[in-house]
């Protein structure tokens, strides 16, 4: 049993860590966290946070469920929750600098991939949730 637990810990420790950041931690970063953990969880552990966290948008949960990814238990998190945590990658997702994209000092590699905020002005009707859909 101890050997199995140790092997599990080693497996987790060998995974690359990613922190996705956006302003409200309501949609973009939550969805990215969900996709990475669901599709690439064998190699990566993803987390998300925001500089001004609100709550996970219902459309983000709905659109991810349509893809078979459950983010309904995720919650909006502040950057301060990860103050002492190192990450291999820190990915900022704000569409432009006017959104005051978060800065996190605990990353080894920093990437910026701008996405417009689908939650900006969106309600939760099916038509409004269409702006959350992931397109290849």
Into how many domains does the chain fold? Answer: 1
Set 18, 19, 21, 22: catalytic member: 22
pLDDT at 108 exceeding the cut of 50:
yes
Range of the domain at 113: 2-132
pTM of the predicted protein model: 0.81
CA nearest 88: which of 110, 60, 117? Answer: 110
Set 18, 36, 91, 101: catalytic member: 101
Identify whether the C-beta of residue 133 lies closer than 8 Å to the C-beta of residue 63. Answer: yes
Cα-Cα end-to-end distance for the chain: 43
**CATH number for the domain that contains residue 45:** 3.40.50.2300
Note if 129 is an active site residue. no
Note if 59 is an active site residue. no
Q: Whole-number mean pLDDT of the chain?
A: 83
pLDDT band at 13 (very low <50, low <70, confident <90, very high): low
Note if 101 is an active site residue. yes
Say what percent of the chain tops pLDDT 70. 80
pLDDT at 2 exceeding the cut of 80:
no
Set 32, 46, 56, 94: catalytic member: 94
């Amino acid at each position: 049993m101890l050997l199995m637990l140790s092997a599990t810990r080693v497996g987790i420790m060998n995974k690359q860590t990613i922190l996705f950041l956006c302003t409200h931690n309501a949609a973009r970063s939550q969805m990215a966290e969900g996709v990475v953990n669901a599709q690439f969880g064998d190699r990566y552990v993803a987390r998300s946070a925001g500089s001004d966290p609100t709550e996970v948008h219902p459309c983000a949960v709905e659109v991810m469920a349509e893809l078979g990814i459950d983010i309904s238990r995720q919650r909006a998190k502040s950057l301060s929750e990860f103050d002492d945590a190192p990450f291999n990658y820190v990915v900022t997702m704000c569409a432009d600098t006017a959104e005051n994209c978060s800065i996190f000092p605990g990353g080894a590699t920093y990437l910026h991939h701008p996405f417009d905020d689908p939650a900006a002005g969106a309600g939760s009707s099916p038509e409004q949730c269409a702006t959350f859909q992931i397109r290849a």
